[in-house]
Amino acid sequence: MKSYDVAVIGSGPGGYVAAIRCAQLGMKTAIIEKYNTLGGTCLNVGCIPSKALLDSSHHYHDAITHFEEHGIDIPGDVKVNLKQMIARKQSVVDQTTKGIDFLMDKNKIEVYHGMGSFKDATHIEIKGDSDTTIEAKNTIIATGSKPASLPFIELDKERIITSTEALSLTEIPKHLIIIGGGVIGLELGQVYRRLGADVSVVEFMDRIIPGMDASLSKELTKVFKKQKMKFYLSHKVTEVTRKAKEAIVKATDKKGEEISLKGDYCLVSVGRRPYTDGLNAEAAGVKLNDKGQVEVDEHLRTAASNIYAIGDVVRGAMLAHKAEEEGVMVAEIIAGQKPHIDYNLIPGVVYTWPEVAAVGKTEEELKEAGIEYKSGQFPMRALGRSRASMDTDGFVKILADKQTDEVLGVHMIGARVADLIAEAVTAMEYRASAEDIARMSHAHPTYAEAVKEAALAATENRALHS
């Protein structure tokens, strides 16, 4: 029987990064993945394919809406070739997952393809093409998550679908009904809206992207409405049925009034659930909580002292970069180091256009905690860079402590803010004040100037360009 210092179950961004860090630290490492390709949800049916489709549909949308104004004439009609769009997305996925094969080879990590299942706390049975059992001194559970649904919805994966099927449709929906106004639903909704689908979003809460600062969801809703996306907020879905090629969604508002929407596709995007099916966690003494997550302490250690768990399968934000940070942290703990993650500084991003990004506390959270703060906001439309690219929607808002000026939260919506948020994370990691950011030189013309201007506005209401 082969024996390892560390076995990692699951090869998503949590698992494969944990495996690399373990190998870098000199540990003999194995990784177990039930699918044929490595990379997990993120690389195969998550972050990467969704961004590939967002990019392709963005090009098409620009061509039909902005090219003429830019002085670019295209003879004849611009048409979508969905088959090619999906094929390009798949080739991006293939290149990216092959990159993980390369990294496993390079770091001498042994890869097992098959379903990993605990026999006890130090033995894992792998059921794949050929069954085998390995021994591991330490194990990292990184089994991720699967799309969640509502108990009364039958996902037929043809017309009533999850994000996984939405990434590989063979036709552009005429009317796509999306249940859930969170990140995944909105990103995929915008893809198909740009390609010509009517898109209706039914959301239980009174706003979309409910976890983010309310000002961001207000601005994003405004932009989406300009793009003719329809929203049914504060609506509780009560029934989803399929009739031939039709998906029918019924929902009631707070007054109990019912709506009935008919579409050709219904995307159920109500979140994700931790995935531990087939893991046989109890055989190793690993405990799950009532949400189905693997229960861990602040060091990501499970109820079994040699077994850790990271990423979507444990508490906290379901984000690839959170899983990665946890992967590194656990590898370093096993190696005897004392790493730390500041969960307050894990940024959240929505890759629609405009993009939305945030780090730290929202205004609602600061109010609830009774923390006195000041706010500086700067509109993207006041930037020369934004006018040059015709991306004038959005703003940057910086929240700083009223007394100390320490930055407590940064909330952005606009072009390329998914990249701009890194500046805010860096600043907050070093506990910068708003004035620290305001006094740093920002290249002109860039979208990043909005960060400096918002910091100036937060410091003493002294933005220079608004």
Q: Which residues are catalytic?
A: 444
Backbone angles phi, psi at 185, to 5 degrees: -60, -40
In the complex, minimum distance from the CB of residue 270 to ligand FAD, in angstroms, rounded to a whole number: 12
Assess contact for 221 and 203: CB atoms under 8 A: no
Lay out the site mask for ligand FAD across 311-340 (x = CB under 6 A, - = otherwise): xxx----xxxx-x-----------------
Q: What is the DSSP letter of 264?
A: S
Output the six-digit token pair for 65: 């809406």
Q: Does 309 bind ligand FAD (CB under 6 A)?
A: no
Q: How far apart are CA 23 and CA 35, in angstroms?
A: 22
In the complex, minimum distance from the CB of residue 320 to ligand FAD, in angstroms, rounded to a whole number: 4
The residue from 6, 7, 15, 459 that contacts ligand FAD (CB under 6 A) is 15
**Residue 171: how many other CB atoms lie within 10 Å:** 10
Q: Helix, strand, or coil here: 235? A: coil
The residue from 20, 22, 41, 304 that contacts ligand FAD (CB under 6 A) is 41
Lay out the site mask for ligand FAD across 261-280 (x = CB under 6 A, - = otherwise): --------------x--xx-
Cβ neighbours for 119, distance < 8 A, ≥ 6 positions apart: 125, 133, 280, 283
What's the CA dihedral at 262, 267, 271, 273 to 10 degrees? Answer: 120
Beta strands in 229-354 (DSSP E): 230-232, 236-243, 246-252, 258-263, 265-268, 272-274, 307-309, 348-350
**How far lies 309's CA from each of 34, 40, 93, 301, 337, in Å?**
17, 15, 26, 7, 17
Question: What single string gives the DSSP state of each residue in 76-95?
Answer: S-----HHHHHHHHHHHHHH
Q: Does 21 bind ligand FAD (CB under 6 A)?
A: no
In the complex, minimum distance from the CB of residue 55 to ligand FAD, in angstroms, rounded to a whole number: 12
Nearer to ligand FAD, 47 or 288 (CB): 47
Nearer to ligand FAD, 54 or 177 (CB): 54
Q: What pairing do the DSSP bridges indicate for beta strands 258-263 and 246-252?
A: antiparallel
The residue from 47, 191, 454, 457 that contacts ligand FAD (CB under 6 A) is 47
Nearer to ligand FAD, 8 or 229 (CB): 8
Nearer to ligand FAD, 45 or 261 (CB): 45
The residue from 34, 61, 374, 397 that contacts ligand FAD (CB under 6 A) is 34
Beta strands in 142-253 (DSSP E): 145-147, 160-161, 175-179, 198-202, 230-232, 236-243, 246-252
Q: Does 286 bind ligand FAD (CB under 6 A)?
A: no
In the complex, minimum distance from the CB of residue 279 to ligand FAD, in angstroms, rounded to a whole number: 5
Output the six-digit token pair for 283: 């055989």
Q: How far apart are CA 246 and CA 359, in angstroms?
A: 40
Number of residues that bind ligand FAD (CB under 6 A): 37
In the complex, minimum distance from the CB of residue 89 to ligand FAD, in angstroms, rounded to a whole number: 12
> Residue for token digits 């002085």?
71
Residue 411: name the closest of 426, 427, 430, 395 by CA: 395
Of residues 162-181, those binding ligand FAD (CB under 6 A): 163
Of residues 63-92, those binding ligand FAD (CB under 6 A): none
Question: What single string gives the DSSP state of each residue in 436-449?
Answer: HHHTS---SS-TTH
Nearer to ligand FAD, 161 or 184 (CB): 184
Q: Does 11 bind ligand FAD (CB under 6 A)?
A: yes
Q: What is the DSSP letter of 247?
A: E
In the complex, minimum distance from the CB of residue 34 to ligand FAD, in angstroms, rounded to a whole number: 4
Of residues 382-411, those binding ligand FAD (CB under 6 A): none
Q: Does 42 bind ligand FAD (CB under 6 A)?
A: yes
The residue from 4, 60, 265, 351 that contacts ligand FAD (CB under 6 A) is 351
Q: Does 416 bind ligand FAD (CB under 6 A)?
A: no
In the complex, minimum distance from the CB of residue 9 to ligand FAD, in angstroms, rounded to a whole number: 5
Q: How far apart are CA 287 and CA 466, in angstroms?
A: 55
Output the six-digit token pair for 305: 């002292």
The residue from 14, 173, 189, 360 that contacts ligand FAD (CB under 6 A) is 14
Nearer to ligand FAD, 104 or 320 (CB): 320
> Which residue stretch of 31-39, 329-337, 409-417, 445-453 sits at the interface with ligand FAD (rule: CB under 6 A)?
31-39
Q: Does 145 bind ligand FAD (CB under 6 A)?
A: yes
Residues forming the site for ligand FAD (CB under 6 A): 9-15, 32-35, 40-42, 46-47, 50, 115-116, 142-145, 163, 184, 275, 278-279, 311-313, 318-321, 323, 351
